Chain A
Amino acid sequence: DAGVIQSPRHEVTEMGQEVTLRCKPISGHDYLFWYRQTMMRGLELLIYFNNNVPIDDSGMPEDRFSAKMPNASFSTLKIQPSEPRDSAVYFCASSLSLTRAGELFFGEGSRLTVL
């Protein structure tokens, strides 16, 4: 079975450019999470969705970040405009249900470098 699929795996861009990260969760999983990982701050939850509806976006750093989930099989995380401090590995993860919401299946991540 396919796991969580993220693209691109690596992105190098210049400050001010728009960045779009994509995620396909595991089929049948009701929850989708976007995390950011840096050496300094570890794993940070940015936003999560339940049945395509954003539930908690309190972790989104600022208005430059936005996330959408137009259907059960696709989500995007957009940064516009990007800044060097956004450089990090961004993970998408999905889980099956509320009672097992902690059992996350992560994608391989998108490593973003903003110059």
Chain B
Amino acid sequence: GQQLNQSPQSMFIQEGEDVSMNCTSSSIFNTWLWYKQEPGEGPVLLIALYKAGELTSNGRLTAQFGITRKDSFLNISASIPSDVGIYFCAGQLRSNYQLIWGAGTKLIIKP
């Protein structure tokens, strides 16, 4: 079946550092989305990307839709404690609009 490779699996960083994570697939996606999940809550949509090459920012977050339509990255600049959580990428196929999910990147900020 369809799979997304999300990396890294986890990140231990200092407050103030920049963060980068990415997702790749063997399939071409129509849409890339990035979600964040905090403990005890459901995922929350951060950024949605609809065009190849699109670069979109949401505050300190920036995400790009890869030009090949098979990859996407998410950057977080100047991390703060509330950035802690699990970040998921998701790709949407044109054919059936179903979302394919990455396994998540767990972000931990060292005190």
Q: Which residues of A contact B (CB under 8 A)?
A: 4, 42-43, 45, 56, 91, 93, 98, 100-109
Candidate in B33, B88, B97, B104 with the most chain A CB atoms within 10 angstroms: B97
Please state if B98 and A56 are interface contacts (CB–CB under 8 Å).
yes
Kindly list chain B residues whose C-beta atoms are within 8 Å of the C-beta of A102.
31, 33, 48, 90, 92, 97, 99
Q: What are 28 A-B contacts defined by CB distance under 8 Å?
A: A4-B42, A43-B43, A43-B88, A43-B101, A45-B98, A56-B96, A56-B98, A91-B43, A93-B42, A98-B97, A101-B92, A102-B33, A102-B48, A102-B97, A103-B45, A103-B48, A104-B43, A104-B99, A105-B45, A106-B41, A106-B42, A106-B43, A106-B44, A107-B42, A108-B42, A109-B40, A109-B41, A109-B42
Please state if A42 and B103 are interface contacts (CB–CB under 8 Å).
yes
The chain B residue sitting closest to A6, CB to CB, is: B42
Question: Which chain B residues numbered 82 to 111 have a C-beta less than 8 Å away from chain A?
Answer: 88, 90, 92, 96-99, 101, 103-104
Question: Which chain B residues numbered 33 to 50 have a C-beta less than 8 Å away from chain A?
Answer: 33, 35, 40-45, 48
Kindly list chain B residues whose C-beta atoms are within 8 Å of the C-beta of A107.
42
The chain B residue sitting closest to A43, CB to CB, is: B101
Cα A98 to Cα B98 in complex, Å, equals 10
Please state if A101 and B97 are interface contacts (CB–CB under 8 Å).
yes
Please state if B42 and A42 are interface contacts (CB–CB under 8 Å).
no
Return the contact of B104 from the options A4, A42, A98 (Cβ within 8 A).
Answer: A42
Extra contacts besides A4-B42, A42-B101 (15): CB < 8 Å:
A43-B43, A43-B88, A45-B98, A56-B96, A93-B42, A98-B97, A101-B92, A102-B31, A103-B33, A104-B35, A104-B45, A104-B99, A106-B41, A106-B42, A109-B41
